Amino acid sequence: MKAFWTEPDFDDHELVELVHDRKSGLTAIFAIHSSHLGPGAGGTRFWHYPDPAMAMRDALRLSRGMSYKNAMAGLPMGGGKAVILAGPDRAKSPDMLAVFGDAVDALGGRYITAEDVGMSEADMVAIAQRTAYVTGLPSKHSGAAGGDPGPFTAMGVYLGIKAAVSCKLGRESLDGVHVAIQGTGSVGGGTARLLARDGARLTLADIDRARADALAKELGAASAPADAIMDVACDVFSPNALGAILDDEGIARLAAPIVAGGANNQLAREEHGPALAARGILYAPDYVINGGGIIAVTLEYLARQTGDHCGIEQVHAKLAEIPERLTAIWQEAESSGRSPDQVADAMAQRLIGR
């Protein structure tokens, strides 16, 4: 693995730490990008990377994205992320989670962890046996915030899509709006159900074709192969899987006037936001539209620290700010001639003192 400071995604990160424990099989990377607004908060990703350098790149990009996401959501949290390098079999053991929890605890509260790809509520419960610096835990009280952040992320994406359709297409209703959704897991699947409720016409795709087909049958939607979803002619392309899909080739393939989805780091490089704008495609900056999950788990964590109750209604009130923030970004982009991602980056950087 090349030294992290030669990585193009190293952005003056405050901490980058590699943890390896031979006995449990844990290899993990912790990255804290900024603590200007508070402790670095962001989920843990459990993923098999063919090349360890890809894991480092993911940790760096995701932690920076969390700095921006938390700042733009108005949360008193900085940006952090952890990546656990899974083996090809993606085996996960109690010992591995225990050692990981100890590593989180050793950071002394500089990093707060939660669920991300490959991690579950049950994993957070196991980690919580070793550290208090964890959130996304099941709620003990009906109506209280807590647990899987995925549904809250999905709600934010749904609200963001509605705002984008209003801004770009001048339509206040989603009835008949065609949305092509890439990824039908917790976020993509949840978004699809919310859109279907409003009468949107859906085309679904997932690397697990059976999962996409099952959801399509449930919702009366169409399905497409995972490698063809970006070519679907539609009103909204909604990426809800892994990132860096909006590169030169991906942008050229798009047949949609709007890109709005929950995947992190959708733009492969900084030049790809302006490339979308040059094609007349309205882009919802990913760390703004997908902020629902971190909003939910942060409010949960803060309530637990103070002993207060955080209800679902408080989370939904904060989620309602997502479309307002997106609309402000698009308006400034229109008036300034900059692309939405450039406007959002500048806003976030000011908030974190960069």
* pLDDT tens column, 10-42: 999 999 999 999 999 999 999 999 999 999 999
- For the question of residue 81 being annotated catalytic, the response is yes
**63/109 same-domain check:** yes
| Residue at 71 is within a domain | yes
**121/181 same-domain check:** no
Q: What share of the chain is helix, strand, coil (3-state, %, to 5)?
A: 45, 15, 40
Q: How confident is the model at residue 312 (pLDDT cuts 50, 70, 90)?
A: confident
Number of domains, the chain:
2
For residue 158, give Cα distances in angstroms to 74, 192, 301: 20, 8, 24
**213/345 same-domain check:** yes
Chain-centroid distance, C-alpha 271: 21
pLDDT in tens, 93-144: 999 999 999 999 999 999 999 999 899 999 999 999 999 999 999 876 545 5
| Residue at 270 is within a domain | yes
Torsion, CA 294, CA 243, CA 164, CA 72, rounded to 10: 40
**160/109 same-domain check:** no
Work out the number of other CB atoms within 10 angstroms of the CB of residue 44. Answer: 27
**250/340 same-domain check:** yes
**76/157 same-domain check:** no
| Residue at 300 is within a domain | no
Catalytic residue among 81, 92, 168, 318: 81
pLDDT of residue 326: 98
Q: Where are the alpha helices (DSSP H) in 45-170?
A: 52-72, 94-106, 121-127, 150-164
Name the residue range of residue 228's domain: 150-289+323-351
| Residue at 279 is within a domain | yes
pLDDT of residue 22: 96
pLDDT in tens, 298-307: 999 998 888 7
**165/85 same-domain check:** no
CATH code of the domain in which 332 resides: 3.40.50.720
**99/161 same-domain check:** no
User: Does the pLDDT value for residue 3 go beyond 60?
Assistant: no
**193/241 same-domain check:** yes
Q: Please compute, for residue 26, the number of CA atoms within 13 A of its CA located in the half-sphere on the CB side.
A: 23
**176/246 same-domain check:** yes
pLDDT of residue 242: 80
**338/261 same-domain check:** yes
* Interatomic CA distance for residues 161 and 323, integer angstroms: 8
**167/58 same-domain check:** no
CATH code of the domain in which 123 resides: 3.40.50.10860
| Residue at 48 is within a domain | yes
Chain-centroid distance, C-alpha 45: 11
- Model pTM above 0.75: yes
| Residue at 301 is within a domain | no
pLDDT of residue 307: 77
